[in-house]
Amino acid sequence: MAIPIKHVSIKVGNLERARAFYEEVFGYKHLRTVSTTGFDGPHFSCHMTDGIIDLTLLYYEEQIKSGDPKGAEPVIHHFGVEVEDLEAFTRKLKNRGGEVLSAPGDVRVKFKMPSVPMLEIVPAGRWTKSIKALNMADTADT
């Protein structure tokens, strides 16, 4: 059975410009923007959706300020999937050479995988619930 990708994160050099692009060109809707600190440092996560997928724009201000040449370029940072059994899927990824990057007990388990972008696995419903709520709000407005 295929496990659909529900979430893609893109590292961007200008959060507002990137957000405006996805809103104006593709019609994505803004869900929320949060300031957070993860295993890879402090950053802003701007969650958007087209009604099907959670697209997150990541902005790492310190990488931009430090002149990190990779910091300003838009790149796929990671993609994510929702799974029913987090522990079983974690074992599956470890058996394929995956290295866990997240802190023990974190509900979002991030993996460094050979030859693919970083992968994030979360419990079923994490992104789907937010997307459905936005879709229902849009339906109520019409």
Instruction: Quick: pLDDT tens for 66-125.
Output: 555 444 567 788 888 889 998 898 888 888 888 999 888 888 899 888 767 788 899 988
Least confident of 19-23, 59-63, 81-85, 104-108: 59-63
The phi and psi torsions of 20 (rounded to 5 degrees) equal -60, -40
Average pLDDT score, the chain = 82
Please, which pLDDT band fits residue 47 given cuts at 50, 70 and 90? very high
pTM equals 0.69
> Would the pLDDT of 9 be above 70?
yes
CA dist list (Å): 141 to 48, 79, 91, 110, 136: 19, 31, 44, 36, 9
User: Tokens 């696995």 label which residue?
Assistant: 121
Domains of the chain: 5-141 (3.10.180.10)
